[in-house]
Chains A and B, each alone.
Chain A
Amino acid sequence: KAGVTQTPRYLIKTRGQQVTLSCSPISGHRSVSWYQQTPGQGLQFLFEYFSETQRNKGNFPGRFSGRQFSNSRSEMNVSTLELGDSALYLCASSLTEFQANYGYTFGSGTRLTVV
């Protein structure tokens, strides 16, 4: 079966612009989480969606937002991009909201570079 698909794989944007990243989870998975990965900070939790509802949110500014559609696909949006937003953005899907039972399956990520 297909894995978690993230598009695009690479993105270069200018400061002040906005960007939308997409994540298609594994078929049947209803939970999608987003993480920001940077060399110094490791994985920072952005938000988690389950059945189109945001269940959890990390400590990121309001410029970071997301949503989940009825087919479980998710998008995250970053507005007014800053240089510090350059990172690998990872999406992870899980069968249910109980990751402890099922764990995550990660996508390959979207590498965002802000110039």
Chain B
Amino acid sequence: AQSVAQPEDQVNVAEGNPLTVKCTYSVSGNPYLFWYVQYPNRGLQFLLKYITGDNLVKGSYGFEAEFNKSQTSFHLKKPSALVSDSALYFCAVIGLSGGYQKVTFGTGTKLQVIP
């Protein structure tokens, strides 16, 4: 069965420090991986995606993610955290199920950047 795990409910990081939000996945075939961010009382906003190609994907707002096939991981990273990065982050995987593309989201990780 297709699944996504975000092992940390919350990540706290000091402003200016590097941040990592973890994501591991399980899917049949080649994975299509996404990161979304959600600010309070808003929908999810697309950050970045991995379809194929370079394992390091660059996205919006200075975020990047590293695809590691052997570890089935797709961790979100940023070299220097900003207070405005504080939000809820969701990892998602797309795989094939019954001939259709199926999207599965993780449970989300709350990122708190401390001034």
CB-contacts of A75-115 with B (<8 A): 90, 92, 97-101, 103-109, 111
Is A42 a contact partner of B103 (Cβ separation < 8 A)? no
CB-contacts of A15-64 with B (<8 A): 33, 35, 41-43, 45, 55-56
Give, as a whole number of angstroms, the nearest-CB distance from B112 to chain A: 16
A-B contact count (CB 8 A): 55
CB < 8 Å neighbour of B101 from A4, A92, A98, A108: A98
Instruction: Mark each residue of chain B from 85 to 100: 1 if its CB lies under 8 Å from any CB of chain A, else 0.
Output: 0000010001000001
Is B46 a contact partner of A103 (Cβ separation < 8 A)? yes
Give, as a whole number of angstroms, the nearest-CB distance from A6 to chain B: 8
Give, as a whole number of angstroms, the nearest-CB distance from A88 to chain B: 8
Given contacts A100-B94, A103-B49, is CB(A108)–CB(B103) below 8 Å? no
CB-contacts of B22-39 with A (<8 A): 32, 34, 36
- Interface residue tally on B, bucketed by range: 20 to 34
Docked complex Cα distance between A106 and B103 (Å) = 14
Docked complex Cα distance between A114 and B105 (Å) = 25
* B41 interface residue per 8 A CB criterion: yes
Docked complex Cα distance between A97 and B96 (Å) = 12
7 more contacts with CB within 8 A, not counting A56-B102, A106-B45, are A6-B43, A35-B105, A90-B43, A100-B51, A101-B51, A103-B46, A109-B41
